[in-house]
């Protein structure tokens, strides 16, 4: 057998959403399979791949700072920039120090070939060319203890792009129209990942609620995966209120293999603001009522949200309506963003922009509201039994089904194992303290 060619060491860095993370897990596995040595430290890398984000000005700024820092710290390395910022401004990124390749989202699947043949320069294509084509999935799934991955959760991108046109959102311009991977291919990939040893499958995408393969939707996929053999669980990434049917919510709360965790991209709870966002206020209002029932029926379930503070034209009254409704929802956590105008979106040209000081004050107010809800949620969980997957062996750290990060001080267990724990203390930083229920450990 011919000896496989060995390529230089590659470090991979990613900023942004779960979809970005999934893409880099897939790329890591592919490059490792082809003979690249994967390293964590950029000082040791000959090539550094940076997967970028452009969803907010803060994410864009973070991306630029990271690129400058990498170029300064690792002058020996050649940098490949990909992702949403590469799709948005490829020529500008190509001029940055150390950058040898810029690869837009439309060419991302060719990164291994671009590196292998050292095809320097800008690789970019219009995303309109992807319309009507099914999404393809990687067949390369490394085991969870593989040096290139070392993960317990395996992300599977079931969908990409978005057919909605929210007035503030640049993502459809950078990811294209919604397209879905084939239903049976997704199921096979998930089963393959479980067979490889993964205990959690995360269904990711730009807008997973728009998954549609010849009439088979997200609920159908969840039911099929939940019926599969194996000791694993399924987690959903972010959902739009328009996609949260009662059937889907019930599945999440009551199906053993589906994590009892919902993350909703609410953005606002004020109907006038939602109208200005072009987000269908009725869908959000209806969902809030369904979530009341969800919380009452499943008090231990994780319930998170994305929220935007300071959208153009948002009055104090509108903002307080969002605060009131958010408090009523009993969230377990939230991601709160100050409105950030994105080039090419209608909201960026809205004349009723909010002062930055007001945005900052409102985001702080929302965080305080959510923190109160989170405190109530954590108090409710005290002395409850939860199952974690051990993500770090010493001290033991892991994630519960309801999206609570747990730490067991002084304990040591093998990575990627199940452990039943009892929640014993409040958050210390990111983690709650817990005690192992070793008689129930799997």
Crossing angle, helix 218-226 and helix 183-196, to 10 degrees? 40
Q: Is residue 148 part of a domain?
A: yes
* pLDDT given at position 145: 57
If asked whether residues 374 and 262 sit together in one domain, one would say yes
The pLDDT of residue 355: 97
Give the Å distances, CA to CA, from 368 to 122, 253, 318, 371, 420. Answer: 44, 27, 17, 5, 31
Beta bridge partners of 436: 421
Q: Say which CATH number the domain at 348 has.
A: 3.30.750.200
- Whether residue 39 is contained in a domain is answered as yes
- pLDDT tens for 29-56 read 888 888 888 888 898 899 999 999 988 8
| Range 63-68 average pLDDT | 92
Mean pLDDT confidence for 119-142? 73
- The pLDDT score that the predictor gives to residue 144 is 66
Pairwise CA distance, residues 83 & 93, whole Å: 12
87 and 178 in a single domain? The answer is no
Residue that finishes a domain, picked among 174, 206, 237: 237
Mean pLDDT for 132-141 is 64
In a domain, 248, yes or no: no
Residue 134 clears pLDDT 70, i.e. is over it: no
Q: What is the pLDDT of residue 4?
A: 46
Condensed to tens digits (0 to 9), the pLDDT of residues 289-316 reads 899 899 999 999 999 999 999 999 999 9
Q: Do 101 and 161 fall into the same domain?
A: no
- For Cα atoms 116, 26, 93, give the angle at the middle one, nearest 5 degrees: 60
Which domain does 428 fall in, by range?
Answer: 385-440
Q: What CATH number corresponds to the domain at position 117?
A: 3.40.50.12160
**Final residue of a domain: which of 208, 237, 266?**
237
- Do 186 and 233 belong to one domain? yes
Whether the per-residue pLDDT at 131 is higher than 90: the answer is no
Q: Give the residue-averaged pLDDT of 14-24.
A: 84
Same domain, 263 and 376: yes
In a domain, residue 245? The reply is no
Within a domain: residue 2? no
pLDDT of residue 137: 66
For the chain, percent of residues with pLDDT exceeding 90: 69
Rounded to whole angstroms, the Cα distance separating 164 from 176 reads: 11
User: Taking 80 as the threshold, does the pLDDT of residue 375 lie above it?
Assistant: yes
Q: How far are the Cα atoms of 158, 171, 183, 223 from residue 217, in angstroms, in the given order?
A: 11, 22, 9, 10
Residues 107 and 169 reside in one and the same domain: no
Indicate the pLDDT class of residue 442, thresholds 50, 70 and 90: very low
CB-hemisphere CA count at 13 Å for 222? 27
Residues 330 and 402 in one domain: no
* Residues 336-340, mean pLDDT to the nearest whole number: 95
Same domain? For 216 and 317 the reply is no
Contact status, residue 434 vs residue 423, Cβ threshold 8 Å = yes
Which of 232-236, 325-329, 423-427 is the least confident region? 423-427
The residue ranking higher by pLDDT, 130 or 249, is 249
Residue 326 has a pLDDT of: 95
**Band (393; pLDDT cuts 50, 70, 90):** low
pLDDT the model gives residue 149:
47
Query: Tell me, what CATH number does 390's domain have?
Result: 2.40.50
Domain count across the chain: 4
Indicate whether 246 belongs to any domain: no
Q: What is the CATH number of the domain that holds 140?
A: 3.30.750.210
- Looking at residue 138, its pLDDT comes to 62
3-state secondary structure 58-126: HHHHHHHHHHHHHHHHCCCCEEEEEEHHHHHCHHHHHCCCCEEEEECHHHHHHHHHHHHCCCCEEECCC
Q: Are residues 272 and 357 in the same domain?
A: yes
Residue 119 and residue 132 share a domain:
no
Contact 24, 12 (CB under 8 A): yes
Same domain, yes or no: 342 and 421 = no
pLDDT digits (tens, 9 = 90+) for 157-207: 999 999 999 999 998 888 888 999 999 999 999 999 999 899 999 999 999
260-266-271 Cα angle (round to 5): 140
Clarify whether residues 64 and 166 are in a common domain. Answer: no
Indicate if the pLDDT at residue 405 is higher than 60. Answer: yes
pTM for this model (two decimals): 0.88
**Of the ranges 115-119, 159-163, 301-305, 412-416, which is most confident?**
301-305
pLDDT value of residue 277: 97
Q: Is residue 249 domain-resident?
A: no
């Amino acid at each position: 057998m011919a000896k496989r060619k060995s390529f230089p060491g590659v470090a991979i860095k990613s900023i942004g959403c779960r979809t970005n993370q999934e893409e880099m897990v897939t790329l890591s596995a592919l490059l490792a399979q082809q003979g690249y040595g994967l390293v964590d430290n950029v000082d040791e890398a000959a090539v550094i791949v940076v997967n970028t984000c452009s969803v907010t000005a803060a994410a864009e700024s973070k991306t630029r700072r990271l690129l400058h820092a990498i170029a300064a710290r690792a002058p020996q390395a050649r940098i490949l920039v990909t992702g949403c910022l590469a799709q948005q401004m490829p020529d500008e990124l190509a001029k940055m120090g150390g950058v040898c390749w810029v690869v837009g989202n439309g060419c991302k699947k060719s990164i291994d070939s671009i590196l292998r043949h050292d095809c320097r320069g800008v690789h970019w294509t219009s995303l309109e060319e992807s319309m009507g084509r099914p999404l393809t999935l990687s067949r390369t799934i490394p085991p969870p203890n593989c040096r290139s991955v070392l993960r317990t959760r395996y992300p599977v991108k079931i969908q990409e792009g978005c057919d909605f046109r929210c007035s503030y959102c640049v993502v459809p311009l950078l990811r294209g129209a919604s397209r879905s991977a084939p239903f049976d291919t997704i199921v096979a990939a998930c089963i393959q990942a479980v067979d490889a040893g993964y205990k959690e499958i995360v269904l990711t995408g730009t807008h997973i609620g728009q998954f549609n393969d010849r009439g088979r939707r997200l609920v159908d996929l969840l039911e099929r995966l939940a019926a599969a053999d194996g000791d694993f669980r399924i987690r959903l990434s972010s959902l739009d209120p328009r996609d949260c049917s009662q059937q889907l919510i019930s599945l999440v709360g009551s199906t053993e293999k589906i994590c009892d965790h919902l993350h909703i991209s609410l953005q606002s709870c004020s109907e006038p603001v939602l109208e200005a966002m072009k987000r269908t206020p009725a869908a959000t209002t209806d969902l809030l009522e369904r979530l009341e029932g969800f919380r009452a029926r499943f008090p231990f379930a994780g319930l998170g949200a994305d929220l935007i503070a300071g959208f153009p034209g948002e009055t104090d009254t509108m903002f307080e309506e969002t605060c009131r409704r958010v408090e009523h929802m009993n969230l377990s956590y939230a991601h709160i963003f100050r409105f950030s105008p994105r080039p090419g979106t209608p909201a960026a040209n809205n004349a009723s922009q909010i002062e930055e000081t007001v945005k900052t004050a409102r985001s702080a107010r929302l965080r305080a509201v959510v923190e109160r809800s989170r405190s109530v949620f954590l108090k409710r969980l005290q002395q409850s039994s939860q199952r974690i997957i051990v993500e770090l062996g010493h001290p033991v750290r892991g994630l519960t089904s309801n999206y609570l990060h747990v730490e067991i001080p002084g304990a040591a267990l093998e990575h990627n194992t199940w452990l039943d724990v009892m929640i014993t203390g409040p958050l210390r930083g990111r983690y709650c303290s817990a005690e192992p229920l070793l008689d129930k450990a799997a």
